[in-house]
Amino acid sequence: MNKEMKLLVVAVVIALLNIISHLLLSKYFTDFPWLEISLASIPFIMMLLCVFAVRYAARALDEKRAKEVELLESFHDKHGEPE
């Protein structure tokens, strides 16, 4: 699975968490006190997922830039510096 697909999966999970938490907060589930406490943690879980996704994307971008620099340096070694 490539990096973009992993980030897409994270975005879908966050959207599903949002939808599920809104459905569970409906009036049908008001008799479950543990549910309210559990649902209170969902925004923190979503924030953590966002932080990890941003860090993952930044690391992937750094790796891509490093590969591009390495490729450019190998090209200049073979063909000389541009004038």
What 3 state SS string does 4-25 have? HHHHHHHHHHHHHHHHHHHHHC
- Name the residue ranges covered by the structural domains of the chain: 3-78
Q: Name the pTM for this structure.
A: 0.69
Gap between the Cα atoms of 50 and 67, Å rounded: 26
pLDDT of 41-82, one tens digit each?
888 988 999 999 999 989 988 998 998 888 888 887 777 666
